[in-house]
Amino acid sequence: MTTELETELLTAVERRRNFAIISHPDAGKTTLTEKLLLYGGAIHEAGSVKARRAQRHATSDWMAMEQQRGISITSTVLQFEYQNYHINLLDTPGHQDFSEDTYRTLAAADNAVMLEDAAKGLEPQTRKLFEVCKLRRLPIFTFFNKLDRPSRDPLDLLDEIEKELGLQTYPVNWPIGTGDRFKGVFDRRGRKIHLFERTKHGSRAAVETVIELGDPRIEDLLEQDLYYQLKEELELLDELGTELDLDLVRSGKMTPVFFGSAMSNFGVELFLDAFLDYAMKPIARNSSAGELPPTYEDFTGFVFKLQANMDPRHRDRVAFIRVCTGKFEKDMNVTHARTGKTVRLSRPQKLFAQDRESIEVAYPGDVIGLNNPGVFAIGDTIYTGQKLEYEGIPCFSPELFAFLRNPNPSKFKQFRKGVSELQEEGAVQIMYSVDESKREPILAAVGQLQFEVVQFRMQSEYNVETTIDMLPYSVARWVDGGWDALAKVGRLFNTVTVKDSWGRPVLLFRNDWNCRQVEGEHPVLRLNAIAPVVSGLAVSAE
């Protein structure tokens, strides 16, 4: 017999859609995010992402450095209601130096939207993030953006996805012209032509004219050559293209494809409507207690992100929790899987970039913000009922290393606090020399911009000026078996040993050749490019 709670959970899960947007820098991710919020009624006017002081800043880019540079370097959560759906949009960093933050965010997503520049097609960062989506078996929806600029042939773009990513494609809509002649799209779901009128900077919803394919008015609204080209291409798609198969979409083997222009709002609402119909609702997740459906009655969730100082006035630390099963309720007591301690979840918040409001309940698929007084780490599981843990979130091998120095001894406490909090939220990996006389932290990053962000935030949030001294290493490897395994092999050449923030040994090498040399000389020494998972089950190191 179905309980009242089961019925409540089933209803809540049916309404929820949770997704992350992935893209290469400059594909227009922040702009698309803004326009989805615009059509979802979450904002009334879309902010431009250009870094000009006179313009409004994008809602999703809240950090001062992002607003100055017009780039996304943190991931945020944006929640809104649209057509009876409750949507959790996980906005990821657009810059490749922050791909690890994107990976962590994808751990909390049920669907991914792959955004591509229609003039460039697949780009390196997109390919890299696609592999992460594939690893997590996420359904992928493709949006080709910037059709209002000169673009590649749409059929070539589809062909590239099929050949390079091994995904079947199904165009849900089809562009009518490109560049200055981009007039709108043909919606294959409704079999109607949608012609758009440009609005100033696309800050308001686009005005559109919707007509049937054979409507005689089309001759007055569309140039003859564009109309004939559209009909030819649609015949080709209908004859040679594949049928839409939602089972293939939801298993990550077929991608529904959309064309449009986020900047001018062309095709954005059509995409949102189709996406909500096709996307996966919150799914079952693998845990130490087996695969748990979202309607499992006990509450469970995991921490996928930590962020310090989202509100500079309160110097807060927020833990982002993905609700996986059951019903979250304010002030509930949960067990913290890593420590075994009981934690009271007070002051839960609904997140909208840096804006927050208090909430009473949340359901599977939702992301909530919790005040984090140093209790949570990335990958932590919290639960009620039987003990369990979800899969952990690994750290990747950094490629840049530098000492972070504090030239002002009077700021020692602020320096130590800043380093500790930025390390906790995963803004950068922190390592330390095994020589106790060298107490400065070693920053270990994927990209140079991470160093700049750390220095910027140390100055703006902790009032500490810092200097960076680069180190001549580009490869890090964790030692399987820890300090005991390292002691057994004796002295090593062409490497330096440091310890990570959990006190585990890490070998730093100048290059891959040095790394392979040490492995060849000591075959019993097993080295890993991915750090051992601290919280949660071990995940595969693919």
What was the pLDDT predicted at 55?
39
Q: Residue 522 in contact with residue 457, Cβ under 8 Å?
A: no
Helix and strand tally (H, E) in the chain? 14, 31
| Least confident span in 217-231, 326-340, 424-438 | 424-438
The closest alpha carbon to 534, from 424, 372, 420, 434, belongs to 424
Residues 6+ apart with CB under 8 A from 473: 401, 496, 508, 509, 510
Place of tokens 């198969």: 245
Residue 470 to residue 473: CA distance in whole angstroms: 9
What was the pLDDT predicted at 71?
32
Place of tokens 């750390």: 454
As a three-state string, the secondary structure of 361-393 is EECCCCEEEEECCCCCCCCCEEECCCCCCEECC
pLDDT tens string 32-42: 888 888 887 76
What was the pLDDT predicted at 439?
87
Residue 79 to residue 90: CA distance in whole angstroms: 9
Residue 107 to residue 173: CA distance in whole angstroms: 29
Q: How confident is the model at residue 312 (pLDDT cuts 50, 70, 90)?
A: low
pLDDT tens string 47-89: 433 333 333 344 444 344 334 433 332 346 788 889 999 999 9
| Least confident span in 38-42, 341-345, 489-493, 535-539 | 535-539
Q: Residue 206 in contact with residue 212, Cβ under 8 Å?
A: no
What was the pLDDT predicted at 100?
67
Residue 164 to residue 198: CA distance in whole angstroms: 34
| Least confident span in 32-41, 211-220, 343-352, 423-432 | 343-352
C-alpha of 336 from chain center: 25
Residues of the chain with pLDDT > 90, as a percent, come to 53
pLDDT tens string 107-153: 899 999 999 999 999 987 788 778 878 878 899 999 999 999 999 99
pLDDT tens string 295-306: 999 999 999 887
Query: What is the bridge-based pairing of β-strands 317-325 and 361-362?
Result: unpaired
What was the pLDDT predicted at 316?
64
The closest alpha carbon to 258, from 118, 125, 378, belongs to 118
Question: Looking at the predicted structure, is the pLDDT value of residue 29 above 80?
Answer: yes
Question: Looking at the predicted structure, is the pLDDT value of residue 272 above 60?
Answer: yes
pLDDT tens string 234-256: 999 998 888 999 999 999 999 99
What was the pLDDT predicted at 40?
77
User: Is the overall model pTM greater than 0.85, yes or no?
Assistant: no
Q: How confident is the model at residue 26 (pLDDT cuts 50, 70, 90)?
A: confident
Give Cα separations from 238 to 58, 181, 218, 244 (angstroms): 39, 24, 21, 11
Q: Residue 60 in contact with residue 40, Cβ under 8 Å?
A: no
| Least confident span in 10-14, 307-311, 322-326, 344-348 | 307-311
Q: How confident is the model at residue 217 (pLDDT cuts 50, 70, 90)?
A: confident
Q: How confident is the model at residue 512 (pLDDT cuts 50, 70, 90)?
A: very high
Query: What is the bridge-based pairing of β-strands 381-383 and 300-308?
Result: antiparallel
What was the pLDDT predicted at 59?
44
Q: Is the model more confident about 97 or about 389?
A: 389
Q: How confident is the model at residue 370 (pLDDT cuts 50, 70, 90)?
A: confident
Q: Is the model more confident about 445 or about 411?
A: 411
Residue 329: beta bridge partners? 361
Q: How confident is the model at residue 185 (pLDDT cuts 50, 70, 90)?
A: very high
For the chain, the farthest-separated pair of C-alpha atoms sits apart, in whole angstroms, at 84
Place of tokens 């070693």: 442
Q: Which two tokens stand for residue 202?
A: 């696309």
Residue 521 to residue 527: CA distance in whole angstroms: 13
Query: What is the bridge-based pairing of β-strands 184-187 and 173-176?
Result: antiparallel
Residues of the chain with pLDDT > 70, as a percent, come to 85
Q: Tell me what the pLDDT averaged over the chain comes to.
A: 84
Question: Looking at the predicted structure, is the pLDDT value of residue 98 above 50?
Answer: no
Residue 331 to residue 345: CA distance in whole angstroms: 5
Query: What is the bridge-based pairing of β-strands 381-383 and 333-336?
Result: antiparallel
Question: Looking at the predicted structure, is the pLDDT value of residue 310 above 60?
Answer: no
What was the pLDDT predicted at 201?
58
Mean pLDDT (whole number) for 268-274: 94
Q: Which two tokens stand for residue 112?
A: 């991914």
Residue 355: beta bridge partners? 352
Residue 391 to residue 533: CA distance in whole angstroms: 9
| Least confident span in 18-32, 144-158, 233-247, 258-272 | 18-32
